[in-house]
């Protein structure tokens, strides 16, 4: 597999993982709330999860876009 195809498929995987993060946040947050250390910081944890998902989707989209450019 050449580098161009690998970059394209890697971008697709990054986008899928980023969307998976967005999908899992509502189900994981109640579990995180049970941890005593994070119970007071749920807003920060949720913000960090959303930023992680945005970074993953953006990085994947950039790789896919650069592949066709």
Split the chain (69 residues) into runs of 10 and give each run's mean pLDDT.
88 96 94 90 94 97 89
Q: What is residue 45's predicted lDDT score, i.e. its pLDDT?
A: 94
CB atoms within 10 A of CB 6: 12
The ranges assigned to domains in the chain are: 3-68
Tell me the two tokens of residue 18: 């980023």
- What is the pTM (predicted TM-score) of this model? 0.87
Q: What is residue 60's predicted lDDT score, i.e. its pLDDT?
A: 96
Q: What contacts 18, CB < 8 A, 6 or more positions away?
A: 52, 53, 54, 55, 56, 57, 58, 59, 60
Q: What is residue 51's predicted lDDT score, i.e. its pLDDT?
A: 97
């Amino acid at each position: 597999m050449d580098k161009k195809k690998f970059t394209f498929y890697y971008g697709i995987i990054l986008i899928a993982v980023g969307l998976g993060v967005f999908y899992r946040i509502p189900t994981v947050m109640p579990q995180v709330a049970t941890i005593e250390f994070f119970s007071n910081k749920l807003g920060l944890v949720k913000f960090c999860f959303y930023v992680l998902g945005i970074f993953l989707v953006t990085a994947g989209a950039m790789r896919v876009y650069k592949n066709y450019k």
